[in-house]
């Protein structure tokens, strides 16, 4: 425990500090619970998207061998032109939210292109979208876990260090002030008896 002044002023300061800690701790505990709940929800979403990605990949593998027939154009059509992300706030933390992937415009001759191009392109683009969504979800998960770690450290600091320190400081100061008051009363009584004795001797 840090060194403290054994004064009434310090006693008031420590009581004020303890009050602040006790008011702030429930807010931190609530934030911790909200973060834990959101991490669980996010992990369920991540797991579902990963399963879906695996299923889509199996579907896409049917088209993978045909890519060579379409030449380099097919690869260009699959490149993401832009990944659109939004933002949402959870327990005071800003998280990225996947919105959409915008691909390059497709332009080809419907009569000359192989029959599978439309279906293959759609399947592969769905796979690419899922990959991008999973990446955004993983980023949000990292942010939440970092914030949970910091919040948990703060909760522990308040519960296990700051509040007990303030309580101990108050206890020590109160004992010291109580002892000082008791000593002062004792000295006062001794002084009073001496005065009474002196007055008695003068009167005699």
Structural domain includes residue 170: no
The two structure tokens encoding residue 144: 């939440």
Residue 90 has phi, psi (to 5 degrees) of: -125, 115
Considering only CA atoms, which of 38, 40, 43, 132 is closest in space to residue 92?
38
pLDDT level of residue 96 (50, 70, 90 thresholds): very high
How many folded domains does the chain comprise?
A: 1
Q: What is the pTM of this model?
A: 0.76
Q: Is residue 196 part of a domain?
A: no
Answer whether residue 199 shows pLDDT above 80.
no
What CA–CA distances, in Å, run from 61 to 120, 135, 142?
Answer: 9, 21, 30
Q: Please say if the pLDDT value at position 5 is more than 80.
A: yes
DSSP element (H, E) containing 5:
none
61 belongs to a structural domain? yes
Is residue 41, in this structure, part of any structural domain at all?
Answer: yes
C-alpha 76/C-alpha 144 separation (Å) is: 35
Residue 169 has pLDDT above 90, yes or no: yes
Q: Give me the domain span that covers residue 125.
A: 23-163
pLDDT-based confidence at residue 87 (cuts at 50, 70, 90)? very high
Coil vs helix vs strand at 2 = coil
Q: Rounded to a whole number, what is the largest CA-CA distance in the chain?
A: 137
Whether residue 133 is contained in a domain is answered as: yes
Q: Average per-residue pLDDT in the chain?
A: 83
Question: What's the pLDDT tens digit per position in 112-147?
Answer: 555 666 667 777 788 889 999 999 999 999 999 999
pLDDT over 70, % of the chain: 73
In a domain, 182, yes or no: no
The per-residue DSSP string of 51-115 comes to HHHHHHHHHHHHHHTTHHHHTHHHHHHHSEEEEEEEEEEETTEEEEEEEEEEEPPP---TTTS-T
Tokens 């003068």, located at residue: 202
CA atoms within 13 A on the CB side of 88: 10
Residue 10: inside a domain, yes or no? no
pLDDT mean over 63-87: 67
Q: What is the CATH number of the domain that holds 89?
A: 1.10.287.3240
Residues in the chain: 204
Is 69 a domain residue?
yes
Distance (Å, whole) CA 64 – CA 29: 50
């Amino acid at each position: 425990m840090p060194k403290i002044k054994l004064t009434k002023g310090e006693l008031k300061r420590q009581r004020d500090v303890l009050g602040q800690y006790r008011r702030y701790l429930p807010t931190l505990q609530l934030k911790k619970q909200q973060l834990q709940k959101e991490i669980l929800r996010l992990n369920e979403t991540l797991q579902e998207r990963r399963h879906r990605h695996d299923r889509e990949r199996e579907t896409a593998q049917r088209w993978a061998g045909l890519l060579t027939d379409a030449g380099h154009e097919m690869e260009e059509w699959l490149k993401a032109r832009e990944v659109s992300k939004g933002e949402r706030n959870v327990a005071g933390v800003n998280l990225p939210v996947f919105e959409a992937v915008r691909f390059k415009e497709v332009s080809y001759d419907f009569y000359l292109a192989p029959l599978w191009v439309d279906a293959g392109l759609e399947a592969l683009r769905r796979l690419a979208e899922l990959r991008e969504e999973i990446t955004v979800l993983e980023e949000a998960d990292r942010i939440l876990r970092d914030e949970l770690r910091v919040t948990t450290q703060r909760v522990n600091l308040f519960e296990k260090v700051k509040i007990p320190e303030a309580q101990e400081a108050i206890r020590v100061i109160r004992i010291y002030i109580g002892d000082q008051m008791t000593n002062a009363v004792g000295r006062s009584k001794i002084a009073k008896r001496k005065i009474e004795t002196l007055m008695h001797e003068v009167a005699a």
